[in-house]
Amino acid sequence: VDAVTEPWWTATRERRLLLQRCPACATVQHPPRVVCTGCGQGAPAWVEAAGAGVVDAATVVHRPAHPELTPPYVVARVRLAEGPVVLTNVVEGPPDGSAPAPGTPVGLRWRALSDGRHLPVFAVNEETTWTSN
């Protein structure tokens, strides 16, 4: 956590997922940066993500990166409706434990951390019907 990401982490205490939107060129970006990746101007403004996205890529992890994570779990790149891609976990994925396919619609959920902050994770939309083949 640093001066750039501190507002982002603070918002997770209220389960709000913030993105940055450039007032000059309207580029929406994540993770937080000092300058806009679109035009290079400083001081992008904070906006709140709606929480909808689609899976860009996903994989099942069987060996956890941290001891507190229980494998297997799904690590995914999720493209938000606002445009940015976030590296996250997909919970409540396909019932067979496989990784959701690219293009699968997902919605924002939160995983509580011990210090009151939260990590944004995503769940496959309830209306998704799985095809068995």
- Chain contacts with Zn ion (rule: CB under 5 A): 22, 24-25, 27, 36, 38-39
Token digits of residue 90: 């997909």
**Closest CB to Zn ion among 39 and 119?**
39
Residue 80 vs 121, nearer CB to Zn ion:
80
Best CA proximity match to 78, nearest among 91, 87, 65, 67: 87
- Please report how close the Cβ of residue 37 comes to Zn ion at its closest, in angstroms: 8
Instruction: Please give the distance of CA 128 from its chain centroid, rounded to a whole number.
Output: 19
Q: How far is the CB of 83 from Zn ion (least distance, A)?
A: 13
Cβ proximity to Zn ion, 49 vs 74, nearer residue = 49
CA atoms within 13 A on the CB side of 100: 30
Tokens of 118: 């939260």
Residue 101 beta carbon to Zn ion: minimum distance, rounded to whole angstroms: 33
Least distance to Zn ion, CB of residue 40, Å = 7
The residue among 25 and 101 lying less far from Zn ion, judged by its C-beta, is 25
In whole angstroms, the minimum distance from the beta carbon of 57 to Zn ion comes to 26
Q: How many CB atoms lie within 10 A of CB 7?
A: 12
The answer to whether 42 and 29 have CB atoms below 8 angstroms apart is no
Nearer to Zn ion, 39 or 47 (CB): 39
Looking at 62-104, which runs of residues are DSSP E strands?
73-80, 85-91
